[in-house]
Amino acid sequence: MAEPFARIPYPFSARDPMRKSAKLLITGGSGFLGRHVVTEFARHGWSNLFAPRRVDYDLTQPAQVAQLFRCHRPRVVVHLAAQVGGIEANRRHPGTFLYKNLMMGANLLEACRRFGCDKVVVIGTICSYPKFTPVPFKEEDFWNGYPEETNAPYGLAKKLVGLQLQTYHQEFGLKGVYLLPVNLYGPGDNFDLTTSHVIPALIRKCVEAKENGSRQVTIWGTGKPTREFLYVADAARAIRLATEKLNTPEPLNIGSGKEISIADLARRIAEKVGFDGELVFDPTRPDGQPRRCLDVSKARRLLDFEAKTSLDEGLEKTIQWYFRHRQTDLVAA
């Protein structure tokens, strides 16, 4: 067995990692965000993409990660693979969320270091921010407290992977980027009510209530918390820009910079799908973090990135996609 911190050099000299013919590994490339990221890179001239599935390589297993790197020798890595879900999924499986996200990130970064990758882009989460971070969230507040309890295991796992990236840059010179996207939504999202996030869950509930003739839709929590949302294609563009332009491992917010309350979001979705019944909020269910809205000025400055898709436009596109695909295997029953 190789010594744990032995570097395994490539059998050829390092090349410019931003040359678009460089081998680009995208983990989680078959997932919701991943499919959009693969499309974004391909559309902008990256001609040597590789996006394995979990059935091909289990990233929680160090030996399988090492085999992935031995076989495919990526020069650039974008790490999207994650175990994700809404509040209920996080409450039911906190250990699973912590373990899988921590191990996937730790194994992948160690392989990037050992096999001499030129660059790795890690996708974190704003769930890692402290529960009572002042709004708008600024990157310098990232380490100033404990995350909101319902998704703390997930948030802390992703936070430690970000710390690993920073320490590997400091000790081993591994070049990397650590991005913190807000809540994403859009075509191809997960509409399974046991694991989905708020926008797809609300869309499905309102559509089914309308079709079933129900006069009520029940929504978790008080409706008072605010969230910021980013259309998935905009997130994919930010990830591609960061891959091409950045080499700093410090956290970088990626979002729209606009927040909306859950109650206002629910009313907007109900109107768009034509549900005119009552929206009932259940305060016995957890709200999650009180407010989420990012300061996105750093991304604007470093990447020239701004969200192009408004919430209204993005919701309409997502609802249209749901109506087209809900009877297929793309939407969980």
Q: What is the side-by-side order of every strand in the sheet holding 183-185? A: 183-185, 226-231, 259-261
Of the candidates 10, 57, 99, 154, the residue annotated as catalytic is: 154
End-to-end CA distance of the chain: 45
Asked whether the beta carbons of 127 and 147 are under 8 A apart, the reply is yes
Q: How far is CA 297 from CA 62, 184, 294, 331, in A?
A: 37, 19, 9, 35
**Residue 220, beta-bridge partner list:** 282
Identify the CA nearest to 72 among candidates 108, 124, 106, 36: 108
> Exposed (0-12), middle (13-18) or buried (19+): which is 212, by Cβ within 10 Å?
exposed
178 is catalytic: no
How far is 111 from 104, CA to CA, in rounded Å? 11
Q: What is the amino acid identity at position 83? A: Q
Between CA 203 and CA 266 the distance in angstroms is 8
Cis link prior to 52 (omega < 30° from 0)? no
CB 246 within 8 A of CB 304: no
1 near 51, Cβ under 8 Å? no
Residue ranges in 73-122 assigned as alpha helix (H): 87-92, 94-114
Amino acid at 185: Y
Left (φ > 0), alpha (ψ -120 to 50) or beta: where does 294 sit? beta
By annotation, the residues acting in catalysis are 154
